[in-house]
Homo-oligomer: A and B are copies of this chain.
Amino acid sequence: MAHYVDPIDGTEYPIDAPRWRSDAGRPLWIAPGGGLGRDDIDASTASLWRYRAALPVEFGHPITLGEGRTPLLERAWGALGRPLFKLDFLNPTGSFKDRGTAVMLSYLRDRGVTAVLEDSSGNGGASVAGYGAAGGMGVTIFAPSSTSPSKIDQVRAYGATVELVEGPREESQHAAIRRSESSRSGSDAFYASHNWQAFFLQGTKTLAYEIWEDLGFRAPDNVIVPVGAGSSLLGCWLGFRELASAGQISTPPRLFAAQPLNCSPVDAAFSAGSDGPVARPVSPTIAEGTSIARPLRLPQMLHALRDSGGRSVAVPEADIARALHDLCAGGLFVEPTSATAAAAYSSLLASTAITPSETTVVLLTGSGLKAASAVADVVAAVY
């Protein structure tokens, strides 16, 4: 029987009572994860729910918009490379976050949660608003008052309530948590943060299962993901580790975390050999989705990188812009954040950390349509 566990003090909590953190205030994990075999895949289901046998609880009525089952596309990249791009920006709300959100909200709704709170004006907020709408759940999104109106058009269209909060980004999180705590039952104001709630990672781990199936039930040699709060990295780590423990693959892939050099706390800590935060200046980056200076699950991310034999990559802004140009020039219209992973592939090839003959998957996380003018301007400056 699976349970929530605080990875630091080992305290366990029952899985059937929704919670977003431990009594000690830390983000939780879910254990154990047994994985699945290829015969456990529900081939009749054309979404990530085909892998539901690998999820830690039964789901009554999953909330679905057809998430997952995104293309895996082999393309030339530079003079030598031929990576496989995973087009997760083609998920229903326009980002890979739909994997985590679909599983998280389905779990919560099955347990009586009727309304959720989230703080994000980016892909996470849009995804929670979209899946909340699909599942008939109330959604309130807290965002900084400085958020440009166009960033929350999608959230508004889904019918979510938007509450603008004065002050820096952290204030939005505090406001959401305060609101959640002041709710009597909790079921009408659950803090369904995509960064905190452990079921989110249970959803993003389907990335690993899907890549494995895409490749004819093989693991790739390498997976490169853009990393902010780390849900794609940790999802891949969980999923491939489960596949290995289930005997479906012999060796999990090396995982590589791409960050903009301008905001690269994972790279700062990894490069210093640390298990925790290491100071490095932060400045603005075009890769907004990865601009998270103090990621909540930093120790777990560092462990995932080392455990898999991979590493972090910090990418200068000019290289992100160049990679964004090259992706768009090849027909892949993505957010700048996604380009960070493609740029990291180039630098890993150049440093011979990975070789062209290896099978390397590069995750493209968010749609360029979410920031079309910004993408067009960045690309035009490179042409």
The chain A residues found within 8 Å of chain B, CB to CB, are: 46-47, 64-66, 69-73, 87, 90-94, 130-135, 149-150, 153-154, 156-159, 214, 328-333, 367-370, 372-373, 375-376, 379-380, 383
Q: How far is the CB of A49 from chain B (nearest CB, A)?
A: 11
Cβ–Cβ < 8 Å partners of A93 in chain B: 331, 333
Q: How far is the CB of A86 from chain B (nearest CB, A)?
A: 10
Cβ–Cβ < 8 Å partners of A372 in chain B: 150, 153-154, 157
Assess whether A373 is in contact with B153, with CB atoms less than 8 Å apart. Answer: yes
Cβ–Cβ < 8 Å partners of A383 in chain B: 159
Assess whether B71 is in contact with A331, with CB atoms less than 8 Å apart. Answer: no
Assess whether A156 is in contact with B379, with CB atoms less than 8 Å apart. Answer: yes
Assess whether A376 is in contact with B87, with CB atoms less than 8 Å apart. Answer: no
Assess whether A369 is in contact with B154, with CB atoms less than 8 Å apart. Answer: yes
Cβ–Cβ < 8 Å partners of A379 in chain B: 156-157, 159
Cβ–Cβ < 8 Å partners of A159 in chain B: 328-329, 379, 383
- Please report the C-alpha to C-alpha distance between residue A315 and residue B255 in the assembled complex, in whole angstroms: 51
- With A87-B92, A157-B372 known as contacts, the answer to whether A73 contacts B65 (CB < 8 A) is yes
In the complex, which of the residues B65, B71, B156, B332 contacts A71, with contact meaning CB atoms closer than 8 Å? B65
- With A369-B367, A369-B369, A372-B150 known as contacts, the answer to whether A65 contacts B331 (CB < 8 A) is yes
- Please report the C-alpha to C-alpha distance between residue A329 and residue B139 in the assembled complex, in whole angstroms: 11
Assess whether B154 is in contact with A368, with CB atoms less than 8 Å apart. Answer: yes
Cβ–Cβ < 8 Å partners of A332 in chain B: 65, 92, 134
- With A73-B64, A73-B66, A333-B93 known as contacts, the answer to whether A157 contacts B87 (CB < 8 A) is no
Q: How far is the CB of A55 from chain B (nearest CB, A)?
A: 19
Cβ–Cβ < 8 Å partners of A156 in chain B: 376, 379-380
Q: List 22 A-B contacts (CB under 8 A).
A: A46-B72, A47-B71, A64-B73, A65-B71, A66-B72, A66-B87, A69-B69, A71-B92, A92-B332, A133-B329, A134-B330, A134-B331, A134-B332, A150-B372, A153-B375, A154-B376, A157-B376, A158-B329, A158-B331, A159-B328, A367-B369, A369-B369
A155's closest neighbor in chain B, by CB?
B376
Residue from A153, A328, A370, A376 having most chain B Cβ neighbours under 10 A: A153
Assess whether A157 is in contact with B65, with CB atoms less than 8 Å apart. Answer: no
Cβ–Cβ < 8 Å partners of A131 in chain B: 331
Assess whether B94 is in contact with A369, with CB atoms less than 8 Å apart. Answer: yes
- Please report the C-alpha to C-alpha distance between residue A150 and residue B150 in the assembled complex, in whole angstroms: 12
Assess whether A90 is in contact with B66, with CB atoms less than 8 Å apart. Answer: yes
Cβ–Cβ < 8 Å partners of A135 in chain B: 331
A126's closest neighbor in chain B, by CB?
B333
Q: How far is the CB of A126 from chain B (nearest CB, A)?
A: 8
Assess whether A328 is in contact with B90, with CB atoms less than 8 Å apart. Answer: no
Assess whether B333 is in contact with A157, with CB atoms less than 8 Å apart. Answer: yes
Assess whether B154 is in contact with A333, with CB atoms less than 8 Å apart. Answer: yes
Cβ–Cβ < 8 Å partners of A157 in chain B: 328, 333, 368, 372, 375-376, 379-380
Cβ–Cβ < 8 Å partners of A328 in chain B: 133, 157-159
A73's closest neighbor in chain B, by CB?
B66
